[in-house]
Structure 1
Amino acid sequence: MMNFVVKTIANAGALAVAIWLVGDITLTGDSTGRKILTLILVALLFGLVNFVVKPVVKLLTLPLFILTLGLITLIVNALMLLLTSWLADVFDLNFHVEGFWTAVLGGLIISVVSWALNVALPDKD
């Protein structure tokens, strides 16, 4: 359970950094508390997308992973971020990613920051 909380906090922090650095990734809300709640919900949604959808996509694109020596991961991460943005709109969360190249940059930032936070945060079950 603790590992789940740590991963969610890392995802929320990584999403917050991407929102801060990339102008076309937006999180809107009435108040700071509402924005934080939305960010946590989007982090949970992003984690769910990465848990359920990403392994299937990686399996289906396995030849591309081999051919590109793993660089297709940037595209897969961008697609997962775009899917999260679409699902956030479906669930009426105020999170939006504008365009594919914005998603590529956001996915890269989220991957790096999430990795760094997962290294820094404790990893106990």
Structure 2
Amino acid sequence: MKLLLKWLLSAVALLCVAYIYSGVEVHSFTSALIAAAVIGLLNTIVRPVLIVLTLPVTLVTLGLFLFVINALMFWAAGSLLGNGFQVHGFGAALLGSLIYSVLSMLIESAVSSLLLQK
């Protein structure tokens, strides 16, 4: 139940990112659901490998390179999905991933506190 709720709210967060920032386009709620699933899969499978491979750069930049990795995951999702979810360039991916990360933290906090009340 928690996973389904987080997935739906992540799709809503993607719609919010597209509404707030014009560099990210989401054409429908279905596209947002698919994009949220793809971003989740990329963050689960590819992101840890990239973090390990870029550990020296991440240490030198005091962790700021993680923003680049997040942007690459966001941009890759846009490239994989094509017309339903589009990210217009690396700068758009960076800003879109920052907004999406903030919204995801809020979602995680809300879902955790909601489930703790039960």
Return the TM-score normalized by structure 2: 0.88
Q: Alignment identity in percent?
A: 33
Contact 1:14 1:111 survives alignment (8 Å): no
The answer to whether the aligner puts 1:4 opposite 2:13 as a matched pair is no
The answer to whether the aligner puts 1:100 opposite 2:90 as a matched pair is yes
Compare relative contact order (CA 8 Å, sep 6+) and give the higher one, 1 or 2: 1
**What's the RMSD between the two structures over aligned residues?**
1.6
The answer to whether the aligner puts 1:118 opposite 2:93 as a matched pair is no
Contact 2:14 2:26 survives alignment (8 Å): no
Secondary structure of 1:121's counterpart equals: helix
Aligned to 2:47: 54
Per-residue CA shift, 1:58-78, capped at 9, x if unaligned? 110111221111111111111
Per-residue CA shift, 1:71-110, capped at 9, x if unaligned? 1111111100110001112xxx511000110110001101
- Structure-2 separation of matches of 1:60 and 1:26: 30
- Structure-2 separation of matches of 1:66 and 1:9: 34
Task: Pick closer, same or farther for the CA change 1:16–1:56 going to 2, 3 Å.
Answer: same
Secondary structure of 2:112's counterpart equals: coil
- Tell me how many residue pairs correspond in the alignment: 114
Shift of residue 7, structure 1, vs aligned partner: 3.0
Aligned to 1:39: 32
The answer to whether the aligner puts 1:83 opposite 2:76 as a matched pair is yes
Contact 1:6 1:122 survives alignment (8 Å): no
Amino acid at match of 2:68: I
Secondary structure of 1:69's counterpart equals: coil
Q: Which runs of 4+ in 1 moved over 3 A?
A: none
Amino acid at match of 2:8: I
Amino acid at match of 1:68: T
